[in-house]
Every structure is written in structure tokens, then in C-alpha cells.
Chain A
Amino acid sequence: MAYFTQQLVNGLALGAIYGLIAIGYTMVYGIVGMINFAHGEVFMVGSFIALIGFMICAMAGISSAPVAILLVLLIAMSFSAVYGWAIERTAYRPLRGSFRLAPLISAIGVSIVLQNYVQLVQGARPKPHVSLVSGGFTLFTSDGFDVRVTWIQIMIVMVTVALMAGFTLVISRTALGRQQRACEQDMKMAALLGVDVNRTISLTFVIGAALAAVAGMLFMMYYGVIDFFIGFLAGIKAFTAAVLGGIGSLPGAMLGGLLIGLIEVFWAGYFSSEYKDVAAFSIMILVLIFRPTGLLGKPEIEKV
């Protein structure tokens, strides 16, 4: 039971990170109908910016952890957002109206570029980082097994919940959210009604990238080490989460993220850690085959 609870705690923390990345996939898919293959790399770039941000904070003598975290959070979100914006502007926007696989191929290109760019300028070696937040507390002990909850895990869940709440508010209450939903329904009609479609799509990428950067920062604090390659696996798992939850659905992305996190942790804990990625990939394939609309998604009706 204790072991189980421990896995549950670990799985939730990991799942929250996947969920944050998955939102970027699901939003972009909802609005422009493309898989933003480079989104995982934006997450990776976000984690690097966070790492560098923390180092600068330390050098500037900011010793208070909450201040540093808040500062780095803002830096990582805003500067990763520029990446999201620039990618959309240069690699995807010119392709609207091209053949249907063009954006995906372009996105693969962007993903390769970002990975190698970071490898080139930051080096291929893993980057360790001593987290500002350490320690935790023992939830309970049974059968001589301590169930530990770390402060970072608490922080991950809290940040995620706060962002989700704020984000849901934005989508459901503000003009931006309305425009976004309008574009999702019918881009041409939205444009005719005076919605600035380009701006709305740009903002979608910006928001998605900012959330991915938060995930990147949390990931770095959680694992204490990053490298240029983390975006690939995390990206695919987050995409799996988006599909599992129902692509296009925001609560679905979060739910899918949590499920993927739990599945990965439990699989590693009870079966074999070597095959934990195989489990994630298999789930993705099975969901796409048997329930492409996911858990909370709406079925698409093709117009002929």
C-alpha cells in the first residue's frame, strides 16, 4: 500500500508536467489542425532558459527561493513564448494552404533545428542543477516503507493547478478565448466577422510555448538534470497525453497527462523500467487505433 501510494504521488507530479506540455499540442491542434512536432523542443528550450535564469539569479545574489522561482518562471515563460511565436511565424504560417502534410514535415524540420541549435551552443553534456527547493516530508510509514512527498512535488501540483485555473478563465471569459474558440469552429467565418485570425493563432502558439516553458522549469527542478534531447521523449509522451485525453480538449490534455504520468511510473515501479517508454508508445498507438477521439474528445465528422 505504501509503495503504491508513493508511486501515485510520483506519477501525479510527472503527469502534471506532461499535462502542461499537452495543452500546447491540444490547443494548436484545435485551432490549426496540425501536430506541432516542435513543441517538445520548446519545452526543452524553456528548461534551458530556466536553468540559465537560476544561475543568473544565484550570481546576482537573489537568495530567496520564492523570489528566484517567480522571476525565473516569468523569464522562462516570456522568452520561450518568443520561440513559440517565431516558429509559427516563420515555419508554419507560410504553409497555410499548402498540401496537408507540409506543416508536419516543416515541424519535424524545426524540431531537428532546435535540438541541434541547443546542442551546438550549449554542448551535448547533461546539465546538472542543484534545485533551490529541496527536502520534503514523510506522509506516512507502513511496513517499514516511508511514503515521501517532496516540496518540489507539491510545488509542481500547485503551479499546475494555478495555471490551469487561470488558463480556463482566459479561455472561457476573455475576448481572446472567444476568438480562439471561434477560429477553432470556422476560421474563414471568424475572419469575416473581424477576428484577427493571424493574431489569434500567434497567441495560441505563445500561450502553448509559455506553458511548455513552465513544464520545462518544473522538469528541471524535479529531475535536477537536463540535456538537449529531453524534448523528444517528453514531447511524444505529452502528445500521447493529448491524444489520450481527446485532442482539442483542454481538460482532456490535463487528464491525459496525469494518466500517462501514472502509467509510466506504475509500469516502471511494478514491471520494468526498461520498457516504460514502450508502454507509453503502445498506449499512444492503441488509443489512436481504437479511440482516436480520446477520452473527452468530440468525434469529427468529415464533410464530403
Chain B
Amino acid sequence: MGARLPAILKDAGLTAFVAAALGIFIVGFRTIDIGSTRGLSFDYEFVDLAIAVATVFLGRLGLQLAAAGQRLPAIALGVILFVVGVSPLKMPSTFLHWFVALGGVALILRGMWPWAQAAIGSAGASPRGVALKQAGTKWFGWALLGGAVLMPFSPMADQKTMDLGVLILTYVMLGWGLNIVVGLAGLLDLGYVAFYAVGAYAYALLSTQHGMGFWAVLPVAGMIAALFGVLLGFPVLRLRGDYLAIVTMGFGEIIRLVLLNWVDLTNGPAGIGSIPGPTFFGATFTERAPAGGQTFSEMMGIPFSSNHRLIFLYYLILALALVTHLFTQRMRRLPVGRAWEALREDETACQALGINPTNTKLTAFAVGAMFAGFAGCFFAAKQRFISPESFVFIESAIILAIVVLGGMGSQIGVVLASILLIGMPEWFRDLGNYRMLAFGLAMVLIMVYRPRGLVAHREPSVRLHPADPGGGR
């Protein structure tokens, strides 16, 4: 160990040097506007830089120590960083507090990892552990569903929580939809938000200009989005994986630019407003019924409350998401679903087995697009105002991040990732500014350390022998 310490110190020093080189200009000199004159001046942020570089140095030192088997010093370093990070010590920005503290947490986790791994490994390998794991995955889904169904009746269900619930469920639905394309069929679609936009604009236009209701438009919006999926997919699905990704991204941007510039149809950047909300068997969720209509409270004979609308929206998106899930589960067990997964595994082999790759990919693309269309229709009805701003590339990236983080192809993983990526930042408002930073970082880290995502388990679509507990692996 003694002989290795200089090497470790040198390595940490080099890493800190690189960090300093990365940060010296971009972090060290903050450009700020001075008045209305066309000019900039500097805020010097060298203290920030120094703290960040020091953290990088200590962090790298700790990581290398942990890698060399010196776990206790590594954990000690982590604790020191964490304490400094959360201490009331005055640092130039809250970000630095986060940076230092999270660095410490990461180090502590890294230091404890081998123990944790050993513990999990031995627990998971025991027959009881295996049985527990199988029962766990089975019941976990039902518990989540139960929680979701009961959520509006829980005491914590205030307006904010319900809004957040609707938001998370929307992303769950989008994630499940994209999971068909990316997770099952292995097609990297970076323009998924385009189909979401198509669904949203379909409802916005058909309802405000042709007076069609939500339930009439819902299937239409899905159809139109699926049609767009087929139209785009047909020429491009022959392309190799990464080319396909870029082409779909280009398509997504084209749709957004058209929405932005075709003012006659879409009202351009100003967006479309006063979109009618969804109805419940014809009843609206307004205080006063429109001419010839009925409100929900009149129908039920209960006093009006603005919460009804929110609760209704919540159950609506929950139902839509569940439909997506059940449909996907069903498709997975059909020949076409197996062909999707086979295509993901090896396209050449599929071709040799006489499977038409283009048609198979096209169905995945169209089905995925259809669910995005449904979700878009719901989104427009919920927001009652839409503009091209809601459909930028970064939305596609967020949905992709959810699928990737969850574990491609895993349905429950999408739920967990949505809660983690959408719920957490909304909950901790402080984090709001760093949310996208964390997104990007999460994507890289997942790819590097756990490319199969949080939930890597894959349940076979069919079994020859019924699942027997204990003999699974």
C-alpha cells in the first residue's frame, strides 16, 4: 500500500489538474451583462473553482483508495466531504454545497459497495432470497398499482401532489409507449415527442375548430400519430441504429418547426388556447354547465369542487397508462412482440429466419407513436393550452432517459424512473435548476455502470416449464 500511495496521489493530482483546465475559463470567469451597453464584464469565481477542484482531487483520491482496497480511508474522506458540504460553512453558491456533499455521498457508497454487494449477493443466492425476490417483483407491481389507485383518497393528496401525480403518470405512459420502440424493438427514437405533439395538436384543432369532444378525438389522435409513425418509419427503418436515431431527431425538430411557423393552422408560437377539458359521460367539470349540457356535480348530485376535475384527470391518465401497459404485455406474448425482441437482439438472424424486418419495426414504431398520440390528446385536454414550446427535443431526451434508467424493456423500471426523474425534482424545488444536469449525468452513469438499467430482470414471454421457485437460475 505504501508504495502505491504516491501513484494514487499523482493520479488524483492529474485528475484535479484536468478539472482545473476544464473549469478555469468557463467557471473561473463568469461573464455578466453590464447595463444596456453592448458589453460584458467578469465576475471572478476562482473560489468556486478552487473548491470544486479540491473536491475532485479528494473524490478521485477516495475512489482510487477504494479501488486499492483501502475502504476505510475512502469512507472517511467521503464523510469529511459530506460534512463540509452540509455544514453551514459559507460557500459561494448552494450548488457547491450540493456538489461537495453529493461527492461525499458517492464516495461513502463506493467505499461500502463491496460489503453491500457481498450481502446482497449472499442474500439473493439463498433459496429464501430467490423466492423472496420473485414474490417481491410480483407484489411490488400490485402494491404500486394499489397505491396509485388509492392516492387521491389519502390525506396527503393536496392540489400539488395530485398535479404531480398526473405529471408522473403522463411520463409513465410516454415511457411505456417509448419502451415498445426502444426497449422491445431496440429502435432508438429521439423524436418521440413529435408524436406526442401530433396527438396534442390533433385534439386542440379538432376540438376548438370542429367542436369534437375528447372521447371522439382520443382514438383519432392515436390513429393520426400512428399514421405519422408509419409515414416516417417506412423510409427510415432500413437505416442502421444510430442513423435512425438522428433521423428521428431531425423529424421531431421538423414537426416542431412546422408547428412554430405554420401560423395559419397552429397559431404559431402563440399556441392554441381555451381547449375544452375531457368530459365524464358528457358531463363537464366546470361550475356552470354549457348550454344543453350537464356538469359533473349536477350529475352526481354533489356540490361543485374544483378538485373533481383534478381527480378525474388523475384517474383518466392512470387508466390510459394501464391500457398502454396491458396492451404492451399482451403484444409481448404475440409473435409480433417476440419478433420485436428478436430484432433488437439480432436483425441479421431475423432476416435469415424469414422475418420481414421493415414491417416488424413499422408495427413497433406505429404502436409506440399511437400511445404518444393518446398521451398528447390527454395533455392538450389537461393543459387547455398548448404551444410548440412543450414539444422540444429535450422532452424526447427526458422520456428516453426514463426508459434507459428504468432498464430497457422493463415496465416497472419505467415507473420507478419516472418517479425518480420527474417526481423528485418537482418535490425538491431547490433541485429544479440542476434537474437537467442530473438527467444528463444519470444517462452517462447508467450507461457506464449499469447499462441494463435499474430493473434488469426480463421475464420470458413464454415458458416450457412452469416457473418453479428456487430453480430459476
Question: A interface vs B, CB < 8 Å?
Answer: 34-35, 45, 48-49, 51-53, 55-56, 59, 75, 79, 82-83, 85-86, 90-91, 94-95, 98-106, 108-118, 120-123, 125, 127-130, 232, 236, 239, 274-275, 277-278, 281-282, 284-285, 288-289, 292, 302, 304
Q: Are A112 and B440 in contact (CB under 8 A)?
A: yes
Instruction: Say yes or no for B30: interface residue by CB 8 A criterion.
Output: yes
For the complex, give the distance between the alpha carbons of A90 and B464 in Å: 43
> B241 within 8 Å of A by Cβ?
yes
**A99 to B346, alpha carbons, bound, how many Å?**
12
Q: Is B385 positioned at the interface, with any CB of A under 8 Å from its CB? A: no
Flag if A116 contacts B21 (CB, 8 Å): no
Contacts of A125 in B (CB 8 A): 33
B40 touches A101 (CB 8 A): no
Q: Is the CB of B394 within 8 A of A49?
A: no
Of the residues A94, A123, A289, contact of B448 by C-beta under 8 Å: A94
B242 interfacial by beta-carbon distance below 8 Å? yes
29 contacts between A and B (CB under 8 A): A35-B245, A53-B25, A55-B40, A79-B25, A82-B21, A95-B447, A95-B448, A98-B447, A98-B451, A99-B451, A101-B242, A104-B241, A105-B443, A116-B436, A117-B26, A120-B434, A121-B26, A122-B26, A232-B393, A236-B246, A236-B250, A275-B257, A277-B253, A281-B250, A281-B257, A282-B250, A288-B239, A289-B235, A292-B243
| B25 close to A289 (CB less than 8 A) | no
Q: What residues of chain A lie closer than 8 Å to B31, measured between beta carbons?
A: 51-52, 55, 122-123, 127
Tell me the minimal C-beta distance from A234 to chain B in angstroms: 13
Q: How far does the alpha carbon of A284 sit from the alpha carbon of B31 in the complex, in Å?
A: 35
- In chain B, positions 134-175 with a C-beta closer than 8 Å to chain A are none
**Interface pair B448/A127, CB less than 8 Å apart:** no
When the two chains form their complex, are residues A120 and B451 in contact, meaning their CB atoms are under 8 A apart? no
Q: In the complex, how many residue pairs between chain A and chain B have their CB atoms under 8 Å apart?
A: 177
| Bound CA–CA A278/B83 (angstroms) | 51
A91 to B442, CA, bound (A): 11
Pick the 7 closest A-B CB pairs, nearest first.
A109-B443, A112-B440, A113-B440, A109-B444, A281-B250, A106-B447, A274-B261
Within B392-451, the residues touching A (CB, 8 Å) are: 393-394, 397, 400-401, 404, 433-434, 436-437, 439-444, 447-448, 451
Which residues of chain B (330-365) have a CB below 8 Å from chain A?
Answer: 348
Task: Tell whether A101 pairs with B245 under 8 Å between CB atoms, given A106-B444, A112-B394.
Answer: yes
- Chain B residues whose C-beta falls within 8 Å of the C-beta of A86 in the assembled complex: 18, 22
CA separation between A91 and B447, bound complex, in Å?
8
